[in-house]
Amino acid sequence: MSLRNPSSFLNPLLFFVIAISLFPLAIGPESHTLSNIAPGIVWVTCMLSVLLSLNALFHYDYDNGVLEQMVISHHSLPLILLAKTIAHWLLTGLPIILLSPLLGMTLFLDAESIYVLMLTLLLATPSLSLIGAIGASLIVGIKNSGMLLSLLTFPLYIPILIFATSAVSQSQFNLPINGQLYFLTSILLISLMTSPFVSAIALKTSLD
């Protein structure tokens, strides 16, 4: 459905591309400095752009009353929310993963690190959407809640940020990264199992 309203998913994506391509201009085209800070740049911008898109996750459905119909439907609400979250990931997380090699190259990342970067993005962007869904369902119905949403979700994003960036930087020094990948996977599994249920409860409370 967001495909019909391209600005809702193109804006965060454009933000991601523009923000990253500004770094080489601002810092200067030294390959060594840039490749050192590249994992941080890509991951922080990725998180910010996911956060930008989260507001739209339930907001429009709430405004036009479709959300009410979802809540009172006899279908399982967590399942509906999981479907919505997956759709959200397909339009934000997936394009980011697909664009990341190109942007990695502008930051002088080597092939091996780009591969690891994509792997961490693949493992962790679904968690970003899932955890974000909890935050978005808590603030649904509150006007101008962008700030509140960031306050709610960023603390939960920080472990992902730490493990993902350390995986990419360690791979630049050919160090093992299994530990970080295991952590990212377990965060993904935990959020996949809990997020739909927690969002469903949060949504019901926000609508009440």
Partner 1 sequence: MSKLIVSDLTCQRGYNELFSNISFELNSGEILKISGANGSGKTSLLKILAGLNSAESGKLSINNNKVGSYDYQSDIFYLGHLPALSPELHCKENLDYLTQLSISSSNQALDEALTNVGLKNFEYVYAAHLSAGQKRRVVLSALFITQAKVWLLDEPFTALDADGINVIETQITKHCDDGGICVLTTHQKSNLHGLKTLTL
Nearer to partner 1 (CB atom), residue 26 or residue 72? 72
Q: Measured between alpha carbons, how far is 117 from 109 in angstroms, rounded to an integer?
A: 9
Contact 139/149 with Cβ under 8 angstroms?
A: yes
| 4 contributes a contact to partner 1 by CB under 8 A | yes
Binding status of residue 25 toward partner 1 by CB under 8 A? no
- Start-end of H helices in the chain: 7-27, 31-54, 56-63, 66-72, 77-91, 93-106, 111-138, 146-172, 178-207
Is residue 208 within the footprint of partner 1 (CB under 8 A)? Answer: yes
HSE of 184 in the Cβ direction (CA atoms, 13 Å)?
A: 26
- Judged by CB under 8 A, does residue 71 bind partner 1? yes
- Position 65 contacts partner 1 (CB under 8 A): yes
The reply to whether 112 sits near partner 1 by the rule CB under 8 A is no
- Residue 32 binds partner 1 (CB under 8 A): no
Least distance CB 76 / partner 1 (angstroms): 9
With tokens 């998913």, the residue in question is 9
Phi and psi torsions of 55, nearest 5°? -55, -35
Q: Is 64 in the site for partner 1 (CB under 8 A)?
A: yes
Q: How far is CA 51 from CA 4, 9, 142, 150, in A?
A: 21, 12, 16, 7
Q: Round the CA-based radius of gyration of the chain to a whole number and report it.
A: 18
**Residue 192 Cβ vs partner 1, minimum distance, rounded to whole Å:** 24
Q: What is the nearest approach in angstroms of partner 1 to the Cβ of residue 129?
A: 20
Tokens representing residue 58 in the block: 């339930």
Q: Could you say which of 1, 22, 79, 148 contacts partner 1 (CB under 8 A)?
A: 1
Does position 7 interact with partner 1 (CB under 8 A)? The reply is no
143 lies in the binding site for partner 1 (CB under 8 A): no
Residue placing its CB nearer to partner 1 in the complex, 11 or 170: 11
Which segment (37-45, 68-76, 94-102, 177-185) binds partner 1 by CB under 8 A?
Answer: 68-76
Asked whether position 60 contacts partner 1 by CB under 8 A, the answer is yes
Q: How many C-beta atoms lie closer than 10 Å to residue 42's C-beta?
A: 28
DSSP-derived letter for residue 55 is T
Distance between CA atoms of residues 173 and 130, nearest Å: 31
Among 25, 32, 74, 174, binds partner 1 (CB under 8 A): 74
**Positions that interact with partner 1 (CB under 8 A):** 1-2, 4-5, 60-61, 63-66, 68-75, 207-208
